[in-house]
Amino acid sequence: MRLWKLSYISTAVAAPEEALRQLRDICARSGERNALVGISSIATVHKGRFAQVLEGPEDAVHTVLRRIIGDPRHRGLTVLADGPLVARRYGGLAMSYRDPKSFIADQLEDILKQTADVVRAMKATWH
């Protein structure tokens, strides 16, 4: 089983207030189903745009993505990242809503950690 991370953005069909209500409902309903297949996830909505990060077994992540693509509550889904993952960041969260500022802070922290890991790996090869 290969651990995988996928993130995407999409555009909500509903007005911003309704999109937020829809996302909170999705989080409440999807947690149990995600947990059963080993998926951890965070999601947000801001100014009519959804964003989500999925983590878990590669096959399960892509199965969930196919279900998400077919959801009529959004359109224009764009995958931002789709690749192997060394360790989960959201392991205890089967499906959790994050306010936009917290969501962005989480993503920035991930980018900074990945950059530091790459720099350390590069320095280890310098002799």
CA distance 90 to 67: 20
CA distance 100 to 109: 14
Encode pLDDT of 15-70 as tens digits. 999 999 999 999 999 999 999 999 999 999 999 999 999 999 999 999 999 999 99
Domain boundaries, the chain: 3-99
CATH code of the region 3-99:
3.30.70.100
pLDDT of residue 127: 65
Q: Concatenated DSSP letters for 76-110? A: EEEEEEEEE-SS-SSTT-SSEE--HHHHHHHHHHH
Encode pLDDT of 98-109 as tens digits. 999 999 998 998
